[in-house]
A = this chain, B = another copy of it.
Amino acid sequence: MSEKRLKEFEPVFYPKSIAVIGASADERNFGHKWVRALISAGFDGSIYPVSYGGGTIAGLEISPALTSVPGEVDYVIASVSRQSVLGLLDDCIAKKVKAIQFFTAGFSEIGTHQGRELEERMVTKARQGGIRIIGPNCIGIYCPEHRIPLGPSPLGKVGISGSVGFVSQSGGIAAKLVEVGIARGINYSKGVSFGNGIDLDASDFLQYLTADAKTTVIGAYLEGTRDGRRLFDIVKGMTKVKPLVIWKGGRTEVGAQAAMSHTGSLASSAAVWSAMLKQVGAIEAHSLEELSDGLLMFQHLGDWRGSNIAIVGGLADGGGGISVSASDICTETGLNVPPLSSQTREELTKLLGEVGGIFRNPIDVSQAQSRDPLALSRAMRLIVEDPIVELVLVQEDVDVLLSYSSLKEVERINEFFIEFRGGQSKPLVIVLPPGSSEPERLSLERKLSKASIAVFPTMERAAKAIVAVNSWFGFKKGAESSGQPLQ
């Protein structure tokens, strides 16, 4: 992406000032909520509410029109009627606004000639006036670093600033990605819900995130695109540089019909998409869970690559069934669970005893607790030091553990994992299945996640996400060795 084009996105994600059009003093009004959202989030640029009724929002004067706003305006959020969009664009051009996001809906997605025509006129006007459009029918930008919350929720929730970027055609799915990110520690650099994408669309945002130095992995929810060839070329270029996890909505006939009403997208065949994504090395997700799991795993695993994992079960007594079933799930998902070296196995047997012992890999550490406070840490050390092991996957059932140990003891085990993760280079992934001790489990998840340990609710989801990371590195290596130039 050229420097000039990169610069175009500066006022989109880092505007110095934002005007919200249609922000009246009535707090039920979406524009009003949007202003409160920006204030709650702590956006540190100027915020200008605009509505002809006048008044104030949280002490901010409401200007009667965009053209009467006292300062410069980089970015406009428009929560106005369809009838007002063209007039507003004229005002934006007069005010030298750089970009405008339309929350307003009722365009091509309602399937009328008028809707499509209005969109065309908006684009023509914007291009002539040198202004970029996000939307319409969308909730726009999310940029934790710059304290821009996603959408008009007056809570203005903003997660920790990180390195994961996303683009979403759907506002609801973008909103859920943000919530899941806050919950699981997926820390976003920036994201966008772009709705009908009549000007800036998926391709543009994907190109930008690929060029953006603060983004290391990209997620996407797409329903369709106006220019499939362009999207294909862009995705092809970007997957050589950064991993892309992409979820396609409207894969089925029923889904595609809903997508038509939702974002006016003509969905293309699921098989064509899947084949295309595979060809260009993108990771395909089939649900919000797979999308967020992939992003979380890429975030925590960074440049790791490998496929030989060690499975550890039995933090609470009785890790046998977990060891058996985790082995099945990991193996069937495509991971290698190679036997540990005979030396490691002998030392584990010495440490943890023979009765009911499962030490080949999977490793059942059931006996550690009752033996010696240091047995678990010694066992983990032995496992991670075995040269064949590239990643350690632990299943920890917090509710079962708490049936036999105090919360303090369980916390100590997790503190050990955090220390252990920091003390060596092989990644640690922990499966913490939900159950009857959710407050304790969620608190442990937060602590582990902050220490760069990827936490998953099920073994299957953890295994799939590890495979995703691997497959991307495999693709990248293939592309590099085939001599194709990297972008």
Contacts and interface: CB of A to CB of B under 8 A. Distances in A.
A348 to B, nearest CB: 12
Given A436-B180, A460-B287, A249 B356 contact: no
A287 B403 contact: no
Identical copies of this chain, number? 2
A458 interface: yes
Contacts of A287: 325, 329, 458-460
Contact of A319 (B157, B172, B259, B439): B172
Contacts of A361: 254
Interface of A: 105-106, 109-110, 137, 139, 151, 153, 155, 157, 168-176, 179-180, 182-183, 221, 223, 247, 249-255, 257-259, 261-263, 286-289, 313-314, 316-325, 327-332, 337, 354-358, 360-362, 364, 397, 399-400, 403-404, 433-439, 442, 457-460
B331 A253 contact: yes
Given A172-B321, A175-B400, 8 more contacts: A172-B400, A175-B397, A176-B433, A251-B328, A252-B331, A258-B364, A261-B358, A289-B460
8 contacts: A171-B318, A179-B399, A180-B433, A249-B324, A254-B328, A254-B331, A288-B325, A439-B439
Contacts of A168: 321
A289 B461 CA distance: 11
Nearest to A325: B249
Contacts of A403: 151, 153, 155, 157, 175, 179
A247 B151 CA distance: 43
Contact of A357 (B261, B313, B362, B364): B261
Kindly name the residue among A157, A258, A288 whose own CB sees the greatest number of chain B CB atoms within 10 A.
A258
